[in-house]
Amino acid sequence: MKGEGKRSRGRCLAYVAAFIVFQTAIILAFALTVMRIKTPKVRFGAVSVENFSTGNGSSPFFDMRLMAQVTVKNTNFGHFKYENSTIKILYGGMEVGEVAVVKARARARQTKKFDVTIDISSANLSSNSNLGNDIATGVLPLSSEAKLSGKVHLLKVIKKKKSAGMSCTMGINLGTRAVQDLKCK
């Protein structure tokens, strides 16, 4: 009878150990997925061009309106609430237009989408830019930058500061008046 008691106690300890291992695995999995806070991603979805006007020759210029879809991809298990910000469009590293992004939130595990309209112009570029050459080749290279600063909220109590940066490059094809090679990091 003694042996019997020892064996069942041993089995009981084995169950407890298995339970602890199982519990630890669950907590670990939870910590590695749900609790891990990732930086949301901001990108341009699609961009189209309107009110297009460019000049070739001795006084090159461009004036146009970009209609862009912006996506804020939040893969966290809590929402991302961001503050007011601006998206800037650059040509040759110089700003040629910007648009305000009003503060909002991207829900948990959701990609928020919204449209912006950005008027861009070469008016403020210095005259020694490479604009004449770019217009002559038929493709205007542009880039965009933005930083959405905000917080990821988890389980109602955890808040972690995260800022989502946007950095895209694209070319405006002056022949087709369409955006090509849109790439975002």
Q: Is 102 in the site for ligand NAG (CB under 6 A)?
A: yes
Q: Is 145 in the site for ligand NAG (CB under 6 A)?
A: no
Smallest distance from ligand NAG to CB 100, Å: 6
Helix (H) or strand (E) holding 42: strand 41-55
Q: Is 177 in the site for ligand NAG (CB under 6 A)?
A: no
Residues from 5 through 44 that contact ligand NAG (CB under 6 A) = none
State which of residues 135, 140, 152, 166 lies at the interface with ligand NAG (CB under 6 A).
Answer: 135
Total residues at interface with ligand NAG (CB under 6 A)? 17
Q: Is 124 in the site for ligand NAG (CB under 6 A)?
A: yes
Cα separation, 157 vs 160, in Å, equals: 10
Give the 3-state secondary structure percentages of the chain, helix then strand then coil, rounded to 5: 20, 55, 25
Residue 165: left if φ>0, alpha if ψ -120 to 50, beta else—which one? Answer: beta
Give residues with Cβ within 8 angstroms of 177, minimum separation 6.
49, 52
Binding region for ligand NAG (CB under 6 A): 50-51, 56, 84, 95-97, 100, 102-103, 121, 123-124, 135-136, 138, 174
